[in-house]
Amino acid sequence: MYPFGMNCGEILMGSLLNITKQKKKAMIKERSKYLLVLVSVLLSVTCMAGDSTHHVLTKDDFINIVKQYHPIAKQADLQVERATANVQQSRGVFDPEIGTTLDRKTFDGKLYYSYFKPELTIPTWYGIDLKAGVEEIVGSRVSPESTLGQTSYIGVKVPANQLLFDKRRATLRQAQALQQQTAEERKLAVNNLLYDGLAAYWNWVEKYCSYRIISSAVAVGEERVRFVKLEFEQGLRPAIDTVEAITQLQTFSFQESVMQLAFRNAGMELSNYLWLENNSPAEWSDMILPDTTDFDKAATSIPDLNALLSALDMHPKLRSINYKMDILEIDKRLKAQSLMPKLSLSGNILSKGYNYPQELNLPLLENNHKVGFSFAMPLFLRDARGAYSAAKLKIFETDLDRNNTRLQIENKTRSYYNELLAVRQQLNIMTSTNTNFIKLYQGERLKFETGESSLFLLNARQSKVLETAQKLIELKAKWQKAYVSLLWASATLY
């Protein structure tokens, strides 16, 4: 609660009861009228927006709007969808494939050759390709190794050096790791977006509360000017008091103009984070006001530091680096395959016509088959050894980055936690200071109303109350921003 809006009725009514009975009845009547008007004005001016003509934007509503409709949040979602599409694309290397070739030549009324070869290929996870197909070869000038007529075959191709790992398995696993990494990076993007957005939100709330405080002070100043003029006209106060009252009012009015501008500009800055479902920015209005419930509850609770530090392994930044390490480990394993000789075996079981053999008996394996193999190996392996060494260095470099990142995250978390503790202590001190200045102001006003004090001293007391009230608002905003920073550092905003 704030001065000029908190317990103002009690303060002013207490002052009314303490007015000395030595004043004239007419003066008491005028003062009572003034105080009742002032009570009505002050009690209607609070930091909480409750006017039905205004729209209240709560913190939770703001967060939901940013998460759902802000372009950065949507772009992060698109990145995840793109990574999912890449996984689907990588699975395509394991799709069965059917194809055919037809090579036919006729010349001078003669059929030289006709090769018709449909084939079905089924890739498997372990690098082995299963094949089945038919051949129809006719003509008078076919190649000598070709078999005329119709034949069929079932075969297999085995890259012996790639049974444990190969490029297509590496590509799929890297795509899956990249998909998980992208999901963590999306969390980071939303976490950073909410950090900036909530900083703007609490700045907006701070400017609003400061503006309402100074507006209430202006209301008090206006009533005080009328009151002092009335007493001057009745000969109870010197003319210089009217100048003092007007000067104080002018000072507050100037501050009100400054704070009103700051509040409106803070609203415009906040509107950068408000978007509609159709990807268009929301139209800002000065009729939108904040809900200050959470703002007034500043420093009521602080997250447990040990719990935050123990959960750092789940931090999206560290998890993203872990998935990057997985991708690099897959790449290193693939590079290790390059150090091995390239050996490929293939074999087909053949059959006359389009009927596949029902049983694989020994004579069939001895006669009706086609086999082959290929072998290659660089003599120095310089390319393979260089690529493998580079892959290991990338992993070492990323591991150093992970350790450094973890230390930075931990130190940031501790730093913002320490800031929260310090601001909470400052808030307690400033709250007590503000309460004491309110008491001094209350006592000075009672002395002023009984003619035992001057308007100058009363205005000085009022200025100190206003100053500490504004400082209290700044500290509450600072605490809220530090709280958001702590959640941001530990990546728990998303």
Closest of 199, 197, 204 to residue 272, by C-alpha = 197
Structure tokens that stand for 434 in this block: 């503000």
Of the listed ranges 27-36, 53-62, 202-211, 297-306, the one predicted with least confidence: 27-36
DSSP annotation of 94: G
User: CB 10: neighbour CB atoms within 10 A?
Assistant: 11
Q: What percent of the chain has pLDDT over 90?
A: 57
Mean pLDDT of 270-292: 90
What is the residue type of 105?
K
Q: Would you say residue 195 has pLDDT above 50?
A: yes
pLDDT grade for 40, boundaries at 50, 70 and 90: very low
Residue 141 phi/psi, 5-degree rounding, is: -135, 55
Domains of the chain, start order = 8-87+170-325+397-489 (1.20.1600.10), 96-164+341-379 (no CATH)
Q: Would you say residue 223 has pLDDT above 50?
A: yes
Strand partners, 115: 103, 137
- The answer to whether the CB of 195 falls within 8 A of the CB of 13 is no
DSSP for 397-440 reads HHHHHHHHHHHHHHHHHHHHHHHHHHHHHHHHHHHHHHHHHHHH
Which stretch, 34-43, 143-152, 311-320, has highest mean pLDDT? Answer: 311-320
pLDDT grade for 1, boundaries at 50, 70 and 90: very low
Q: Rounded to an integer, what is the distance from CA 378 to the centroid of its chain?
A: 50
pLDDT grade for 357, boundaries at 50, 70 and 90: low
User: CB 134: neighbour CB atoms within 10 A?
Assistant: 18
Structure tokens that stand for 419 in this block: 């800031």
Closest of 127, 262, 137, 277 to residue 205, by C-alpha = 262
Would you state the pLDDT for residue 451?
A: 79
C-alpha–C-alpha distance, residues 185 and 172, integer Å: 20
Would you state the pLDDT for residue 365?
A: 55
- The answer to whether the CB of 42 falls within 8 A of the CB of 5 is yes
Would you state the pLDDT for residue 366?
A: 63
Would you state the pLDDT for residue 208?
A: 96
- Residue 141 burial by CB count (10 A; 0-12/13-18/19+): exposed, middle or buried? exposed
Residue 6 phi/psi, 5-degree rounding, is: -110, 125
DSSP for 143-172 reads -TTSPPEEEEEEEEEEEGGGSS--HHHHHH
More confident position, 428 or 236:
428
DSSP for 350-397 reads EEETTPPPSS--HHHHHHSEEEEEEEE--SS-HHHHHHHHHHHHHHHH
Q: What is the pTM of this model?
A: 0.80
C-alpha–C-alpha distance, residues 134 and 350, integer Å: 9
More confident position, 409 or 165:
409
Mean pLDDT of 474-480: 94
Average model confidence (pLDDT) for the chain?
A: 84
Structure tokens that stand for 93 in this block: 């290397």
Closest of 353, 283, 358 to residue 134, by C-alpha = 353
- The answer to whether the CB of 42 falls within 8 A of the CB of 224 is no
b/e sequence 250-262, b meaning 16+ C-beta within 10 Å: ebbbebbeebbeb
Mean pLDDT of 240-266: 94
Strand partners, 149: 137
Helix (H) or strand (E) holding 26: helix 25-43
Would you state the pLDDT for residue 338?
A: 85
Residues 6+ apart with CB under 8 A from 207: 259, 262, 263, 265, 266
pLDDT grade for 49, boundaries at 50, 70 and 90: very low
Q: Would you say residue 276 has pLDDT above 70?
A: yes
